[in-house]
Amino acid sequence: MASTFEVLAEPRRREILDLLRDGERLVGDLVERLALAQPTVSKHLKVLRGAGLVEVRQDAQRRWYRLCPEPLAEVDAWLAPYRRMWTHSLDALERHLDTMPDDIEETR
């Protein structure tokens, strides 16, 4: 089975997750919004389901897909040290910019 990172590497799968952020969607809605063929969207959904990133709920002939945030929490935890690194770097840049004159003309 592909890792969460491998699954998320595909841009269309990330688009599907973006669409599911606001709630459940029918397959047909995803097909329409992505402007892809239904079999293509279904293949992406199968991969996302296999990685545990989405769940499906069947309602008669309709299939509703929804986001499963747990695997994304694992990705977020992995990214946390990198986020701290960037936050530290950006804080240092802000401190440096605060020490600079506001107007370049003041330095002449």
Q: Is pLDDT at 1 greater than 60 in this prediction?
A: no
The pLDDT score that the predictor gives to residue 66 is 97
- Phi, psi for 102 (deg, rounded to 5): -70, -30
Least confident of 39-43, 54-58, 93-97: 93-97
Question: What pTM value is reported for the model?
Answer: 0.74
